[in-house]
């Protein structure tokens, strides 16, 4: 375990004015609180907080963050309290420790809905003070470095969580070194065989080709010395997981994989970056399509650098990154550059972006949205690389890799996205599903009255576009459901000899615990409530008038006195059809139509068959049958169909769409009927309608009793 004076020495390396007494007090307090606690490895528990603090000194963070690391588990795992930490140290430190504690308690690998909700809490905590996530990331890094002492199943869970959440989050925060190490540590747990295989191949490659890195580093240094450019040159082999990911993405074997070596040139000035680029391209052949200038077009997390891949010594492809010292600090520290200290003063790095912008934009954009929408947007933005496109005026729009013109339109403004009907890329009209590339100029064509299509959700890449499309579709669905509900309510009221009015609907909504008549109509149109429930809320006596002519217990003949029954969902037999019963233990008798294919599985069990038939007489319209309709997609058609069904004295109990096309709808309507004759009458009336292309009774064998 690192001694307190050694820890203070690490801080003094970059901050000579550090409050050594504060760190000593925090160290002593943490040691006392964790006394008697041990890690899975058998080490004293306090070795972990000290190691986390040491990791944060590598990022040159302020005293408050270092102290938070030392205390980050005290409130959760010891008798320490928020109030005590606040009084002994400061309210700022207590708030940071409390924030880390709340992050630790979030179950980010739980069920999808809970994970989405907790992800939002994670980002809300980060937006208050990003130092909280820096401590949490350092905490996760040390836990992954010492993961071997955990149970295998716990190792796998932590590794998956690290790979899916913490590693990409570190990358989005600009800390690429931490992302790479977290990924590789998780890879070591999740796929140890693949990692060992790559390391072995690396060793074999080095034996064959010798020490490639010193040779190429020497070549670049000689080139710079000849041009009298003052710069540092570093080379390294890429980490096993990075190589494995490239092999998987490009479907290449290790022997065919290029640029497994990376080199960095750190210059003094921005102008020198471009001079170095010219020298390297003049000396070695550049690889087409592998050049990116993040200096003129920085990444959204502040990252600036020039990337190029060249065919170096012996034809081996190598990637070279060129950047200034200040750019390198941001590339290494990411958001930590905002709190980094040098010589006792907070560093002012001109290339460090405000890290709260991304968090604020996300939390504001999805303030009222679904947790799932928020999680989807965050993951898309954490994982995606960027492409840069130009507006007709020359402004730059940043989009994730794989973005389409629809994403571009929504990036400009939601109104532009909603009304988008087409796009031109570099002056040529292209489909809306076209994937945009770096440097393209995009022009969006809009039209009044255009609305987002449901199919757009499968086309777009950005969380912003997906959220806007879903919101528009929800509003459009609500409008459509209100119109449909209005028609259903009118038919239901006429059925009992009453006229529908806003006042009547408001009264019914109040009786049913709904906020207003619009919500009632929307739920009625979406089949969340039935029309008979609305009538029953206002006119209980009229709703009861349709009382059964045949008593429910007498509807089927052939049952024992104590036997209950219900109709099979697969065939939905109606009075008037030949039926048979199948006995089920605990369910009574299930009635099937005599021609139901589901009966085949009971052929070898004759003892379970019961001979039944429907009673004679008038049956009430309470027997559900499913109809599948294909109708034209024109204004008023759906409402007219519902009116027609109501005029046939049939009630709609449920309705849902199976497929929506620009010209036709395919939908399933569940109607309540008296008998098979009532069904045939309704089918005949629907078939006679010009707007109905097809109608049939739907029997779903997937829905067993």
The token pair at 552 is 């429910």
Question: Residue 322 pairs with which residues in a beta bridge?
Answer: 265, 306
248 is catalytic: no
Burial of 392 (0-12, 13-18, 19+ CB in 10 A): exposed
Element (H, E) at 308: strand 306-311
How far apart, in whole angstroms, are the C-alpha atoms of residue 40 and residue 314? 49
Helix axes 20-33, 4-12, angle to 10 degrees: 140
Contact yes or no for 19/63 (Cβ under 8 A): yes
What span, in angstroms and rounded, lies between the C-alpha atoms of 332 and 322?
14
The active-site residue out of 5, 21, 63, 76 is 76
Sign for the CA dihedral angle at 328, 129, 155, 151 comes to: positive
Token look-up 């009861």 returns: 544
Q: Which residues lie across from 285 on neighbouring strands?
A: 311
Find out whether 461 and 500 touch, Cβ atoms under 8 Å. Answer: no
The DSSP H or E segment spanning 26 is: helix 20-33
Specify whether 77 is catalytic. yes
Six token digits for residue 3? 């001694």
Please list, in sequence order, all residues whose beta carbon lies within 8 angstroms of the beta carbon of residue 282, skipping any fewer than 6 positions away: none
Residue from 77, 84, 129, 332 carrying the catalytic annotation: 77
Cα–chain center distance at 294: 27
Q: Residue 657 corresponds to which tokens in the numbers above? A: 């769409």
Two structure tokens written together for 422:
């087409």
As a whole number of angstroms, the distance between CA 407 and CA 400 comes to 9
To the nearest 10°, report the CA torsion of 600, 601, 604, 610: -70
| Cα dihedral sign, 684-686-691-697 | negative
Q: Which two tokens stand for residue 474?
A: 């929800």
Q: Name the token pair of 19.
A: 């409050």
Closest C-alpha among 80, 97, 180, 174 to residue 131: 97
Residue 269 CA to residue 392 CA, distance in Å, equals 32
**Number of alpha carbons in the 13 Å side-chain half-sphere of residue 328:** 18
The Cβ of residue 179 has, within 10 Å, a number of other Cβ atoms equal to: 22
Catalytic site residues? 76-77
């Amino acid at each position: 375990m690192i001694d307190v004076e050694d820890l203070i020495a690490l801080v003094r390396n970059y901050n000579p004015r550090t409050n050594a007494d504060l760190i000593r007090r925090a160290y002593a307090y943490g040691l006392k609180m964790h006394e008697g606690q041990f890690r899975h490895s058998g080490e004293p528990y306090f070795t972990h907080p000290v190691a986390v603090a040491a990791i944060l000194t590598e990022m040159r963070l302020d005293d408050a963050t270092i102290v938070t690391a030392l205390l980050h588990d005290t409130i959760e795992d010891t008798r320490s309290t928020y109030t005590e930490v606040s009084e002994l140290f400061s309210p700022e430190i207590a708030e940071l420790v409390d924030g880390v504690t709340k992050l630790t308690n979030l179950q980010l690998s739980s069920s999808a809905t809970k994970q989405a909700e907790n992800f939002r809490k994670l980002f809300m905590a980060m937006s208050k003070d990003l130092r909280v996530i820096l401590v949490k990331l350092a905490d996760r890094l040390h836990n992954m470095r010492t993961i071997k002492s955990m149970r295998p199943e716990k190792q796998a869970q932590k590794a998956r969580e690290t790979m899916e959440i913490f590693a990409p989050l570190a990358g989005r925060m600009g800390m690429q070194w931490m992302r790479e190490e977290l990924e590789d540590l998780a890879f070591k747990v999740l796929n140890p065989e693949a990692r060992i295989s790559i390391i072995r191949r690396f060793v074999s490659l080095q034996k064959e080709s010798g020490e490639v890195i010193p040779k190429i580093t020497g070549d670049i240094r000689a080139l710079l010395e000849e041009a009298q450019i003052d710069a540092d040159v570093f080379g390294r082999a890429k980490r096993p997981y990075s190589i494995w990911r490239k092999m998987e993405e490009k479907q290449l074997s290790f022997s065919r994989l290029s640029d497994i070596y990376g080199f960095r040139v750190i210059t003094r000035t921005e102008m020198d970056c471009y001079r170095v680029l010219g020298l390297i391209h003049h000396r070695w052949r550049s690889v087409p399509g592998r050049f990116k200038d993040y200096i003129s077009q920085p990444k959204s997390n502040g990252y600036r650098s020039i990337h190029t891949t060249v065919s170096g010594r012996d034809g081996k492809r190598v990637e070279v990154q060129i950047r200034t010292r200040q750019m390198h600090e941001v590339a290494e520290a990411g958001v930590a550059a905002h709190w980094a200290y040098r010589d006792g003063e907070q560093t002012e790095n001109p290339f460090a972006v405000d890290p709260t912008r991304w968090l604020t934009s996300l939390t504001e954009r999805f303030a009222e949205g679904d947790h799932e929408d928020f999680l989807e947007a965050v993951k898309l933005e954490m994982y995606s690389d960027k492409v840069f496109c130009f507006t007709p005026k020359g402004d730059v729009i940043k989009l994730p890799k794989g973005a389409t013109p629809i994403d571009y339109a929504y990036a400009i403004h939601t109104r532009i996205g909603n009304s988008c009907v087409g796009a031109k890329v570099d002056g040529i009209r292209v489909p809306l599903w076209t994937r945009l590339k770096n440097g393209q100029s995009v022009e969006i064509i809009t039209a009044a009255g255009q609305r987002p299509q449901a199919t757009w959700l499968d086309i777009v890449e950005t969380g912003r576009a997906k959220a806007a499309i879903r919101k528009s579709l929800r509003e459009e669905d609500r409008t459509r459901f209100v119109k449909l509900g209005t028609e259903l309510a009118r038919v239901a009221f006429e059925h009992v000899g009453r006229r529908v009015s806003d006042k009547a609907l408001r009264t019914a909504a109040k009786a049913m615990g709904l906020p207003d008549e619009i919500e009632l109509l929307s739920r009625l149109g979406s089949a969340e409530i039935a029309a008979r429930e609305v009538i029953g809320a206002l006119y209980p006596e009229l709703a009861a008038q349709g009382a059964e002519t045949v008593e429910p217990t007498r509807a089927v003949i052939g049952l024992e006195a104590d036997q209950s029954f219900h109709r099979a969902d697969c065939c939905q037999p109606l009075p008037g059809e030949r039926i048979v019963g199948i006995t089920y233990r605990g369910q009574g008798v299930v009635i099937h139509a005599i021609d139901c294919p589901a009966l085949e599985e009971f052929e070898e069990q004759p003892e379970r068959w019961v001979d039944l038939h429907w009673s004679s007489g008038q049956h009430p319209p309470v027997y559900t049958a499913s109809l599948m309709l294909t109708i034209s997609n024109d204004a008023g058609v759906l409402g007219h169909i519902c009116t027609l069904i109501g005029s046939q004295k049939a009630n709609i109990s449920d309705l849902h769409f199976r497929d929506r096309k620009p010209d036709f709808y395919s939908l399933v309507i569940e109607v309540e009927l008296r008998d098979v004759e009532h069904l045939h009458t309704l089918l005949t009336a629907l078939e006679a309608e010009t707007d109905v292309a097809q109608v049939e009774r739907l029997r779903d064998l997937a829905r067993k009793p």
